[in-house]
Each structure stands twice: as structure tokens, then as C-alpha cells.
Chains A and B, each alone.
Chain A
Amino acid sequence: MQKVRRVISVIVQNEAQVLARVSGLFAGRGYNIDSLTVATIPNSDMSHMTIVTRGSSRVMEQIIKQLHKLIPVYKVIEHDSMVEKEMVLVKFPIQKGENIAAIQALFEAYNGGIVNASEEVLIAMAADESHRINHCIDASQVFSPSEIVRSGVVAMER
């Protein structure tokens, strides 16, 4: 069976345990979650989860049905035609300041820039599709980043 990358959104009642219920479905079946983001939906008592995972279509179909079955799950969207974005924060030690412009240029190419600078470190941000974030991180390596934090994907059906 081919394992394909899937992005699903799960709209849930914003209540205790709900994250554990959702992630438990994956854990109990031994499936990994590549990324998961959650935040409340404005002006509602619901939250939006975006989950990126990998699996065969039968496995995914079963997971989606099981998600539907959870009592606090309102809706499950298996993304097909979507806009997806992910953010990354990357921290660089500042040597003699010579790289700042180059780092700035790199992150601007990925819808970001430098978001914080102090005497020893600067933090750059990029917001883009996941595969582009991968490129951005790869390209950052020459500047010897000391820390990288990715947000995980958020997605919206077109």
C-alpha cells in the first residue's frame, strides 16, 4: 500500500480531553502524526485542528471515520484542494554581523524576514508551504542556525 501525505482538518468542540481523543486514535493504531496544530475558531466554542499524516487510503478512510465517531468532533475535512502554510522560526548566532543581510534576503524569499535581533542572536521567520520551508531550512544551514522551530501546517480548503 502506498503511503501518501495527507492533510486533514478536524473541527472539534473546544473542551478538555479532545486533543487526547484525537491523537489517541493515531497512537492506538501505531500511526505517526507529522504535524498537528490547534487553535480556537474565533467567535465559537469550537477549535480547528490541522493534522498532517501519512497512510494508505484504507487506513486514512478508517481514521477519518473514527474521528467522525468521536463525540466532540463536529466535522472532518480531508483536504484535496487547499492552501497550506507553515511557519518556521530560526535562531542564528551573530558573529560579526556580516551575515545579517544575507539571512534577511533568504527569509524574505520565503514570505518572512528577521523578527528579532539582540547582541548575540537574531531570529528569522518564514511562512510558506511545507516543502518550501524545508528548502528555507536547508538554505539556512550555511549560517549555522542554533535552533529551529516549525509550527506545523495550517490548511484551508479553497
Chain B
Amino acid sequence: MKISGAQMVCEAIIAEGAKYVFGYPGGAIMNVYDEIYKQNGFEHILTRHEQAAVHAADAYARVSGEVGVAMVTSGPGFTNAVTGLATAYMDSIPMVVISGQIPVSLIGTDGFQEVDAVGISRPCTKHNYLVKSIEDLPRILKEAFYIARSGRPGPVLVDIPKDITSEIAEFKYPDSVNIPTYKPSYNGNNRQIKKAVEAILQAKKPLLYIGGGAVLSNAYEIIREFAKVTGIPAVETLMARGVMGDSNELHIGMPGMHGNYASNMAMSETDLLISLGARFDDRVTGKLSEFAKYADIIHIDIDPANIGKIVDVDYPIVGDVRIVVGKMLDALKDKVNKERYQVWRDLLKRYNEVHPLTYQDSDEVIKPQWVVERIGELVGEDATVTSDVGQHQMWAAQFFPFSRPRQWVNSGGLGTMGFGLPAALGAKMADPSKTVINITGDGSILMNIQELVTAAENGIAVVNVMLNNHFLGMVRQWQTFFYEKRYSETDLSYQPNWKMLTEACGGVGYDVTTKEEFDEALKDAIKQNKVAFINVAVDRFENVLPMVPAGGALYNMMLEYKER
């Protein structure tokens, strides 16, 4: 069958089973948009900014577990997409981004809307392609999807010059890929697994340290089973919230800079740290020389480059978390004695009783933590929670009662303000049965506020809950703690009229200053079945606590802030 390059792109997207493409057209990609118009194998969602298209595709992938697809034009279309690529890259999200490029013959001539897309995106994609010949296009498209979802997932860019999308050639979408230089290993070395199992049986204070890889490999059931059978307690990182389920009594909390006391003490006192798809981010480890000082380390990761990158590892296992944990459980099942770790479990429980995550509630002003807790009470398991970046993100991670993986969608690795609203759209498309709540801040939301229009146009009913502290709160907090309260460029007292802004875009807005108003607004917003925006005035100077100051040891947490 002879078809155009543009048709090939559409055929490939359909063959890969993608239901949605998030994108934004322009000159160099117009041939493909013309074919999108004619086909009905997938639906295209027009965002109002390319960055948002990529974030939406990214969140779609995070919630559905499938490869997200975004499409942009050359030059500025592509450069707008870069933040989205980098965000997905840092969190290992499977995604294919297709960008238009100027015609092959013009590349390198400073043509109109030319930018070196593969050059710019090389360090923030898992792989990228510049298509130079239509003969290569079917294979490249097939490889792009395969590379995005296999091994350690990640975003792949396919940059396609305009003359290639108009050219006609024979098309057969390959059934399989053959990349001799790319063979991810999933199974884990059995000898290493055996040694790790021995170490677990010998340990007195083992700890599961669960990272985003556990979500990506769909390992939550086997991990919960593993914890249950062995009685080994667990902490989960910002990227892994929901894996254990917060009501699970083996769930100790989230470790790191804003982790709870018990989790950070568990990390500091464990004698065997079992890392399941975590990558020892500096926001989790704190001062390295003090990190898990008494522990041997089992590190299970699909990416060999993650192992030994930050800390020396005693039991390195390269493989898929789900498969390796399954094998470890089989080997442990009949040998492990849950009682062995009872003292350890009791100690961590005690830590959580003595220093629980907490805040001082108030009757005068709404506390941001209360809002998060209240969303948990009112929506709970029915919610998918997205967030932006800042204090509100940390409070969401700390205080929302997560019950399942893929319930929590945030930019953990790159910390991209502006992620939340477009992510909410992608999350809702991926699972419309859930109530999607975007917990956002008055700084972050303005970085992609235009997506209210996309949501309104397409009837994507997501609820934004803005914890309005009239500050770039997280930066303000650091200024309070470490810069003697010089609030340089963080005061956001000047604000738009949020309700009017939302309504101008076709949504429904609420201004909330009391708890009662919040309850009413949230219930009403969910009922409205259209994009909603709740502006909640919260305590301006609330801080995220506990806090491990950057570079400090995990066990040296600031549990409260004392005015000096």
C-alpha cells in the first residue's frame, strides 16, 4: 500500500493503540494535521500551548500506563515542548512526541522556524530521531513506541521534515523491532537475588524503599504482598505515593526533605535498605555520608546506570521491580519469620506516634494542610490528584490519603511549575471515571492557565483547588528560614480575579475563605461536570514541615519553625 508520510504517522499512532494525541499545529506539521482531519482512529486534543500538550500526554501515560502521544510543529512549537520532554524524562514517563521539521533540503540553512530539535532534545529524551528518508519512517515510528515503553521508560522524539510527510511510499508497519544495540534486561540475576534473599533473612531492621519504578513496572500488588508476607515496613518516595496504600500498617510514610519523622529515622537506622525502583535522589538522601549509615543496600532497578550512581550498593540487581520482587518473594515465603522484625516495626510505629505528620489547625484562617485532608475525606479513593510544584505539592503528598498507585501525578524529578493543569486534563482523559483534583498554587497555575480553555472546550471536568498563599510559597519558606526574611520577588499579592478569569474561559469559579465555603464549593464543583476552579485563601506564612535543610542529614529534621 502506498501512502504519504503524514498518513504513515497516523497509521502508526492507530496501530500503537493510542486513543488521544495532544498537540498544536503549525507549518511544518500541517501535512500530518491534514491527515488527522481525515481519520477517525484517534482523537486529537488541541491544547493552547505546546508545553501543555506534552504535559497532558505525559499525565495520560502516568495514569493509564500506556504511551502518551503529543504533536507539535517545528521551531517555536518544538522549543515550547522541551520543558515537557525534560519533565517526562526525569520521571521516566513513556511518551512519543512527534515534531514537524523544515524540509530536508533546507535543514541547516537557518530556514524559517528551523531549530535543531534533535540537538536540543538529546539530553532530555531517552532517544530521538531525525527522519531523513521516507523509507525509514515506518521503522522509526515503531522503534519510537517500543523504546518509549520498554526498559526504563522515557520520552522519544521523532522529528519529521515536511517534505517527508508529503512524500508517498510503500507502507507496511513493522510487526516487531530489532535493535541489536538495545536489549533491556528484566529478569534479574538469580544468583544476586539469592544473595539478597539471604541478606533479608539475616537482617534485623530491613526497610523497603519504594520509588517511582515500582509504579512504572506495575509492581504494587506484588510489593504489598511481599511486605505482608515478610512483615517488612516500607517508605515510599514522592514518585511512589500510593504504592503501599496509606492505610496499610506497614506503610511508614514518605522520606526525604519533607518526609515524616518516622520515615527519615527508618532510613537512618535500617540495617538493610531494599530499594525498589528508587534512585537515591538528593531530595531523599540528604547528606550522603550520613545516609543509611548502618545499612547494607539492595538496589533493584531496571536501569544499570542508576545502581551505584549515588551510593555504593552491596546487592545490585538489574531488572524489573515486579519480576524481581516476585522472585524474591518465592524464595522467602517459606523461610521468613515475620516476628523477627517485630521490634523494628514497633520502633517505627512509636516514632510515628511521637512525631506524626501534623499541623496547627486554626479557626481564623484556613490551613493549607486542612484543605488537602478535607479533599481526602470528601473524595478519597475516587480522586486522581495532580499537582504543580511548591508547598502545595508537598502538602498534597504528605496529607492526601493515597490508596493506589497512579492516583498521584506530579513532576517529581524536574519540579516543573505549570505541570498541574495540563496534567489534570491528561489524567481525566486516561480515566474519566475518577474525579480529578489539581492541587495547585497561585504561582504555578498561571504558567499554564490557558488550559482552562482547552478543558472548557472539550468538557474535561477537572477541579482545580488553588492553595492561595499570595506567595511563591516554597521559595518564600526558604527565604524565611535561610535568607533572613528578605522576600525577594516572591510576593504575589497582586492577583487576577480568579473567579472571573475562570468564568471568562468557560469554567466555574469559587472564592473560598472559610472551611464551610470550601466544603460547599468542592461539592458543587464536582457536581458541575465542567472545569472548576476553587481559590482558597490560606494562611500565607504556613511552612512545610518537617524539613531537612538541603545538604543536612536525614535524621536532623526541623520539626517546627521557631521565630528567631
Residues in A lying within 8 Å of B, measured CB to CB: 12-13, 16-17, 20-21, 24, 28, 58, 61-62, 65-66, 68-69, 71-74
Q: Given the known inter-chain contacts A16-B130, A24-B123, A74-B181, please indicate yes or no for A65 contacting B304, CB distance below 8 A.
A: yes
Residues in chain A near residue B309, CB distance under 8 A? 62, 65
Q: Which residues of B contact A71 (CB under 8 A)?
A: 126-127, 147, 179, 181-182
Task: Select from chain A the residue with minimum beta-carbon distance to B132.
Answer: A16
Residues of A with C-beta under 8 A to B303: 69
Partner of A24, one of B122, B180, B305: B122
Report the minimal beta-carbon distance from A140 to chain B, rounded to whole angstroms.
39
Main SS of chain A's interface residues? helix
Residues of B within 8 A of A68 (CB): 304-305
- Please name all residues of chain B whose beta carbon is closer than 8 Å to the beta carbon of A24 when the two chains form the complex: 122-123
Q: Within the complex, what minimum Cβ distance (angstroms) separates B67 from chain A? A: 16
Shortest Cβ distance from B245 into chain A, in angstroms? 33
0/1 per residue, B302-329, Cβ < 8 Å to A?
Answer: 0111001100000000000000000000
Contact B122–A21 (Cβ < 8 Å): yes
Determine whether the beta carbon of A28 is less than 8 Å from that of B123: yes
**Are A17 and B118 touching (Cβ within 8 A)?**
yes
**B108: interface (CB < 8 Å):** no
Is B305's CB under 8 angstroms from A73's CB?
A: no
Contact of B305 with A69 in the complex, beta carbons under 8 Å: yes
Task: List the A side residues contacting B496 at CB < 8 Å.
Answer: none
Could you give 26 example pairs across A and B, Cβ below 8 Å? A12-B181, A13-B180, A13-B181, A17-B118, A17-B122, A17-B128, A17-B130, A20-B119, A20-B122, A24-B122, A24-B123, A28-B123, A58-B308, A61-B308, A62-B309, A65-B305, A65-B309, A66-B305, A68-B304, A69-B303, A69-B305, A71-B127, A71-B182, A72-B181, A74-B180, A74-B181
Pick the contact of B305: A21, A62, A72 (CB < 8 A).
Answer: A62
CA distance A158 to B348 in the complex (A): 55
Residue of A nearest to B306 (CB): A65
* Complex CA distance for A68 and B306, rounded to whole angstroms: 12
Considering residues A24, A71, A74, which has the most beta carbons from chain B within 10 angstroms of its beta carbon?
Answer: A71
**Across the interface, which residues of A come within 8 angstroms of B182, CB to CB?**
71
Q: A62-B309, A68-B305, A71-B179 are in contact. List 11 more A-B contacts (CB 8 A).
A: A17-B130, A20-B122, A24-B122, A65-B304, A65-B309, A69-B303, A69-B305, A71-B127, A71-B182, A74-B180, A74-B181
Name the residue of chain A whose CB is nearest to the CB of B128: A17
The interface residues of chain A lying within 8 Å CB-to-CB of B126 are: 71
